[in-house]
Amino acid sequence: MVRTLANIGLVFVSVVLAFVVALGALEAYLRLADPLGDQINHPGIYRTNPVWGYSYLPSQGFRVSHAEFINDMTTDQLGFRRPLREASKGGPEGPRIVILGDSFMAGFSIPDGQVFSHQLEARLPHARVWNISVNGWGTNNQRAALRELLPILMPTHVIIAFFENDFFNNIQHVDKYYVVEGHLVDKYCPNTPRMVDPEIVADVSRRFRAGSINLHRARQIIRDQCSPSAPTSPADRFKAALNDNLLAYAVLVDAIKPVLRSLTAAIPVAREAFGALVNLDQEPSGSGFPELTPREIEATRTELSAIRQICDQAHCRVAVMLIPSKWSLDLPENPFTPAATEIADELGLPVADLTAAVTAAGGTALYWNRDGHLKPRGHKVMAEALLLQPWWRSFLAPSADQVPAAQPAHAP
């Protein structure tokens, strides 16, 4: 018995020492190279908007960097990625297409000239394509922007680029972020109507501007305001301190949690000891979106219906393009695609499910490993797949009540 306990103690000490060494090495690496998958660096490119919440600064050029890519992006006068062609080209006789989307269409991981809207415009010589897409937007932000910009852009066609997390985003506030020095931070506590204290945000903004805290820590401080209570046990306080102060902690925990679960299943007495370091029952972060709720489905139906009504009144046609996520390609059944398709069918909207095209062209190889968004090749595949849809020719065909009689005077 004594020998068994000694062996268990030896295993525990060895695992803890290995964890500490790995944590230290990974922390040093992260702080030097900053290769965190969710960290995209830019000079502060966002601005608030009273109608659609937020967009990018207008008429600017930005360099966006990540561990996996460095890209230059240019915005137009409205604060969206600049179209491929100038306003004087294409002319009123051709289609005027508006793409509504989020980060997958905004394309931080894609340089100018290769993002989806540019790929599409290059394949449609007489068309003008606007990319009305911003990171973190839901269909609710897109609907608000379309309604406001309709007299300016006068689209003949609208393509809703729908991504899986739009179901969740559609139950959030349109103005769900504060803009702090050109960066986005949460305005509301997750899944509640409660706002984060503006004074806390102002203090975080001041400290961030002064350089005393980085963006990771600024967002952590704001998220902490939403916690109903502070950790009570010494073990919980210890884990909270590690998570708040070390970049490597969450990354390493997600990596070793399956091993620790197997180990504690074999040695139950070690579960409590390992639990002091890791929440073994908590699912790893970044493991996919949760199950759809009736509220999310209904909110999405409402938003897609509103866009349909806007375009019915403005004589523009609407289609839905479904973009698969990297993680969903490995699922035997993806609940998001059937739900979105069903809503679009109910509204009489043509649907382009790009899952098969992305899978056939390389599947997960078309996505960045850490960032999770599509590479330039992925945007090219999507543009080509859209043009091969059986309904595309009839969808794009002009009609007398669709094409504007004159070029909009204020189009960017």
Q: How many structural domains are present in the chain?
A: 2
Cβ neighbourhood burial of 161 (10 Å; 0-12, 13-18, 19+): buried
Does 34 have pLDDT greater than 60? Answer: no
In a domain, 148, yes or no: yes
Name the token pair of 251. Answer: 């990354």
- The CATH number that applies at residue 371 is 3.40.50.1110
Q: Could you tell me what percentage of the chain is helix, strand and coil, using 3-state DSSP and rounding each to the nearest 5?
A: 45, 15, 40
The pTM (predicted TM-score) of the whole model is 0.76
Final residue before a domain boundary, out of 286, 317, 348: 286
Same domain flag for 331 and 389: yes
Cβ neighbourhood burial of 213 (10 Å; 0-12, 13-18, 19+): middle
Question: Is 393 in a helix, a strand, or coil?
Answer: helix
Q: Tens of pLDDT along 231-261?
A: 566 766 776 666 666 666 666 666 666 666 6
Q: Quote the pLDDT of residue 191.
A: 64
Domain hosting residue 112, numbered range: 46-171+290-396
φ, ψ for residue 103, nearest 5 deg:
-65, -30
Same domain flag for 166 and 265: no
Same domain flag for 63 and 8: no
What is the per-residue DSSP string for 169-186? HTTS-TT-EEEETTEEEE
φ, ψ for residue 33, nearest 5 deg:
-100, -20
What is d(CA 13, CA 9) in angstroms, rounded to the nearest whole number? 6
Residues 337/356, Cβ–Cβ less than 8 Å: no
Q: Tens of pLDDT along 53-107?
A: 999 999 999 999 888 899 999 999 999 999 887 644 444 568 999 999 999 999 9
* Amino acid letter, residue 8: I
DSSP character for 258?
Answer: H
The candidate with the shortest Cα–Cα distance to 86, out of 148, 130, 134, is 130
In a domain, 219, yes or no: no
Among all chains, which residue has been given the structure tokens 């290995």? 18
Final residue before a domain boundary, out of 220, 253, 286: 286
In a domain, 403, yes or no: no
Name the token pair of 254. Answer: 């997600």
